[in-house]
Amino acid sequence: MALLQAAHEGAFKAASPQHCDRLLRVLAYVRKDDDSIPDYKLDGFVDDQQEMRVVKRELDSMLQNFKAWRLQHQVPAMW
């Protein structure tokens, strides 16, 4: 969420609109209780975990870039 907020505010410029759209879609999927495998089933989070793994792989470079950016620009202000 911090990445999406920083991108929306224009502070983190390395996240393209396509990156943000992809992240929002996977977050919406994971949040949905009645997705491919409903979350109330015993294995209901398997599909959610798979979606997160795929998006992590797809956006790994940008996510690592955000981590470094956040440590430099946002974390110091928190202390």
pLDDT > 80? residue 79: no
Tell me if 46 is assigned to some domain. Answer: yes
Tell me if 13 is assigned to some domain. Answer: yes
Tell me if 10 is assigned to some domain. Answer: yes
In the prediction, which pLDDT does 78 show? 81
Contact 22, 63 (CB under 8 A): no
Tell me if 79 is assigned to some domain. Answer: no
Q: What is the 3-state secondary structure (H, E, C) of 12-60?
A: CCCCCHHHHHHHHHHHHHHHCCCCCCCCCCCCCCHHHHHHHHHHHHHCH
Q: Which amino acid is at 69?
A: W
Per the structure, how many domains does the chain have?
1
Domain that holds residue 15: 2-73
Tell me if 31 is assigned to some domain. Answer: yes
To the question of pTM greater than 0.75 for the whole model, the response is yes
Contact 24, 55 (CB under 8 A): no
> In this predicted model, what pLDDT tens digit does every residue of 22-61 receive, in sequence order?
999 999 999 999 999 999 999 999 999 999 999 999 999 9
Task: Determine the Cα–Cα distance for residues 27 and 52; give it in Å rounded to an integer.
Answer: 8
> In this predicted model, what pLDDT tens digit does every residue of 5-28 receive, in sequence order?
999 999 999 999 999 999 999 999
What is Dmax (Cα atoms) for the chain?
A: 42
